[in-house]
Amino acid sequence: MSVEQQLADFVCTLQARDVPADARRIVRLVTMAATGAALAGAGEDGIAALRELLRERGGAEQATSFVFGDRLPAASAAQLNGTMCRALDYCDAMAPGIHIGSSLIPAALAAAELAGGCSGAEFLAALAAGAELSSRFNLSEAQYDGFDPTGIAVVFAPTAAAARILKLTPRQTLHALALAFNRCGGSFQSNIDGSLAVRAVQGWVAETGVVCAQMAQRGFTGPQQFVTGLYGYGHLYGRGRLDARALAAGLGQDWRLLKMMFKQYPSCGATQGMTELVLQAVRELDLQPAQVQSVLVRQPPYSFKLVGQPWRIGENPRVDAQFSAQYCVANAVVRRSSALAHFRPEQIIDPQVQQLIPRVRIEGVAAMDARGHTAVDVVLHTTDGRVFERGLDIAPGFPGNDLSDAQQRARFDDCMAYAPRPLPPAQQRQFLEALQNLDQLDDARRLAALLVV
């Protein structure tokens, strides 16, 4: 079979029992992270406007919006829910910047409702297949070269999951993935400029998954050599340096989705290590903001381009803060923690934080590429002459420095504490229990129902 056929066959034939325990755990954590972030993000900028637009557009009542319970066309529900999942940038991720779950989970749940039901075992297999495909389509920093990795590599995850849940044949699944290939896009300029397009891209990717599966189900075709063709994924995005055979090598045995990470702090992945080191300095030196004379942060060029720009407050302060190394460092010093509430606009303009930001300097250092994507060094000088200097190669939450189950639950709890309309405690317990026993659920649509407040 061709590489493309092998990928489609994997999506259609994977069984829940063949997903190993560590991969099952990742699937459950991805689902918890994305849905918790959606509940917390339901009141963020752009969500009300998008919801109004999608309700105004109308259409068949096929699937449910999280939190609000609107009945929308499946693609619209996936778009709204995906946008909510990414609104706080507190979902799962994978170096150098793809966010899979925030598109995968909304599309899969919308497809489950569109299909009239889906067993928990089938749902788990669909999520695992989708997450694995996008993990394999993930590229290097140089290959993305400014493209938004989520907009490029993640389109295959929700498409694969929707195709599996809608019971597409291998041929139809191949064409669904091929159609999704034609929807790859998005730029990291959205992040640098602090725009709402960051979360919009995530919603569009979720919508794409449902739409492409529906189109392929009805006989619409895409380029069958969407990976290996002259102008396929390998050429356009792999820059001619992608080994197409590696995309299908070891499917079902070598699980790339295990490389997923879960942020300990609610800001860009490129700020996780520096936040951790600054919090260590605050605790060990028992620092107050006035005692900090200067902070120097060094990081690899790719991360520096994403979060190292000079601090400014634009039209969307939360996004500006999430993608600002200077803000994240100053916030950690002033508040001695980093929580969702610290990225509210009124917290961002806190004079204590703003006064400290000019004392924080960020540098991009090419030699740090050899230490890995999340490498960071922090040098902090105090007004009384003390110096804190420490480096970190693997940031908290990344593979090799994984969060514990307790820390993962703490992330979900922070989302519930921040959410404008949190799930009642009993409903939280029901949702987490259903998620823990996902492969035993009679119908995965129960998850969607439990996410409506």
Quick: pLDDT tens for 117-157.
999 999 999 999 999 999 999 999 999 999 999 999 999 99
What's phi and psi for 389, nearest 5 deg? -135, 120
Amino acid 263: pLDDT: 94
294 beta partners: 381
Q: How many CB atoms lie within 10 A of CB 389?
A: 12
CATH of region 3-263+403-450, choose from 1.10.357.10, 3.60.40.10, 3.40.50.1000, 1.10.4100.10: 1.10.4100.10
* pLDDT tens digit sequence for 380-397: 999 999 999 999 999 999
Amino acid 44: pLDDT: 95
Calculate the dihedral angle through the C-alpha atoms of 374, 290, 331, 196, rounding to the nearest 10 degrees: -110
Classify 387 as helix, strand or coil.
strand
How many Å apart are CA 2 and CA 95, to the nearest integer?
28
Classify 255 as helix, strand or coil.
coil
Q: Give residue for tokens 């992945």.
A: 269
Strands (E), 7-95: 63-64, 71-72, 92-93
Amino acid 56: pLDDT: 98
DSSP 261-308: EE-SSSS-GGGHHHHHHHHHHHHHHT--GGGEEEEEEEE-HHHHHHH-
How many Å apart are CA 84 and CA 109, to the nearest integer?
14
Type of residue numbered 203: G
Q: How many CB atoms lie within 10 A of CB 288?
A: 13
Amino acid 81: pLDDT: 98
Q: In 359-444, where does DSSP find H-type helix?
A: 405-418, 425-436
- Domain positions in the chain are 3-263+403-450, 269-392
What number does CATH give the domain 269-392? 3.30.1330.120
> Can you list the residues of the chain whose pLDDT is less than 50?
none
Amino acid 373: pLDDT: 85
Amino acid 194: pLDDT: 86
* pLDDT tens digit sequence for 262-271: 999 999 999 9
How many Å apart are CA 41 and CA 44, to the nearest integer?
5
DSSP 93-150: EBTTTB--HHHHHHHHHHHHHHTT---HHHHHHHHHHHHHHHHHH---HHHHTTB-HH
